[in-house]
Chains A and B, each alone.
Chain A
Amino acid sequence: MRELVLTQPGRVLVGPSERESESCRSHGEFEERLAECGPLAFRVAYGVLRNAADAEDVAQEALLKAYRNFGRLREPARFRGWLVRIAFRMALDRWRSAKRREKRETEWKGPERSAVGPTVEELAVSSEFQERLERAMEELPEKFRLVLLLAAIQGYTLEEVSEMLGIPMGTVKSRLFFARKQLAEKLR
């Protein structure tokens, strides 16, 4: 019986042992990036969610998703930007579902909730301005919001943000400009 295979030129079939070593190598590379990228994913998620436990969970989910697909990443240099986008998107999804749940609960037991005031800790941690700022940030377009958050993370320059997101430096500056201007308009 004739072998009925049309192989692609230049492709080499990978054996099980080679595949395992490939997997180990990609696992090692992923581990190397964790030290930097783990905190980055957490901070992006925290910037959206404003809750450490939720942000940690989202960051872990984003990193897990990144880990699963790490071997398939064509450009490992783009890993940071890729992870940041995953974390940001997941955090937004969680924030939206939390908002929907909160809205449902408010509608369901509105009079009871209004009787309960904020705790001392809440009052201490969240000033009126910070709350207004958070609300204003929630209304920002996503692309402006992500650039604003990344630019505010300690240790990252605008060049790094540009590189991370794969967008020109001019675009980063312009998004930052519009984000800050819109925030000022809302908070004035």
Chain B
Amino acid sequence: MNCERYKEKMVEALARGEGAVHGELAAHVRACGACREFYEAQVDLFGAIDFGVRVMVNETVPASLLPGLRARVAEDGVARQPRGFTWGVATFAVVAVLAVSVCLLRRGPGNSSRVVDRSPVVAREVDGPHSVTPRQPQVVAAAPIHARAQHEVAMAPQVGAAAPEVLILPEEQAAFIRFVTDLPEERKAAVALTQPATEAKDEAVEIALLQIDELDLKPLESSNQ
């Protein structure tokens, strides 16, 4: 190994944080004056780097750090309250839109009686496996369903595969419940949103003409000259 290779080894040993060199490398450092000089310079350099970095990060922590943070946390809490309310309103709006769309689906022209009415499906299955059932909107619900409906769901999975699903997240449900229970003044709005809107007819609106009693017109300065 030549001196350049030994120098590389020295630098790597120091970069790994080894305090001293060992074995063949140590023997070479003892024997070669130039390499010994280089090694000593590198020891000083790495020592200075370590010291410099330690100085850089171990600055005294200002006493105002945590009190300042607590003040900012308190400010932040106050500032964020209306924002949370906005999210609640937004969640309510989503739930309300979903509820309205479900109502509209239920009252659609192809479903005059019920949305989930599976008796025809059961009857057709008796006729044969290739019988075609009419596509109907369907609502999948994890809420309590009576035993017959559960049995029918198990009997006719192929209908559910083609029908739309309405999924409501538990967070949305919780937000809706909270909204309805906590804000009694909004309850009417919640109920109103679940009802189909009455069709309003356009009516002509008359706007009275603008009348000015006194109008004082002054000539411009430039017109006097």
Contact = CB atoms under 8 A, between A and B. Distances in A.
Interface stretch (B10-18, B117-125, B197-205): B10-18
A163 interface: no
Nearest to B52: A133
B56 A46 contact: yes
Question: Mostly helix, strand, loop or mixed at chain B's interface?
Answer: helix
Nearest to B50: A152
8 contacts: A4-B98, A6-B167, A34-B69, A43-B59, A55-B59, A64-B69, A129-B52, A184-B42
A31 B210 CA distance: 64
Contacts of A8: 170
Q: Is the interface of A mostly helix, strand, loop or mixed?
A: helix
B59 A60 contact: no
Interface string A15-56: 010000000000000000011001100111011001010011
Contact of B65 (A4, A42, A176, A183): A42
A14 interface: yes
B56 A50 contact: yes
Interface residues of A, number: 51
Given A4-B102, A149-B56, 19 more contacts: A2-B139, A3-B144, A4-B99, A16-B182, A35-B66, A46-B56, A60-B65, A60-B69, A133-B48, A149-B57, A152-B53, A153-B58, A154-B58, A176-B17, A180-B14, A180-B15, A180-B49, A187-B45, A187-B48
Interface of A: 1-8, 11, 13-14, 16, 34-35, 38-39, 42-44, 46-47, 50, 52, 55-56, 59-60, 63-64, 67-68, 129-130, 133-134, 137, 148-149, 152-154, 173, 176-178, 180-181, 183-184, 187-188
Interface string B116-147: 10000000000000000000000111111100
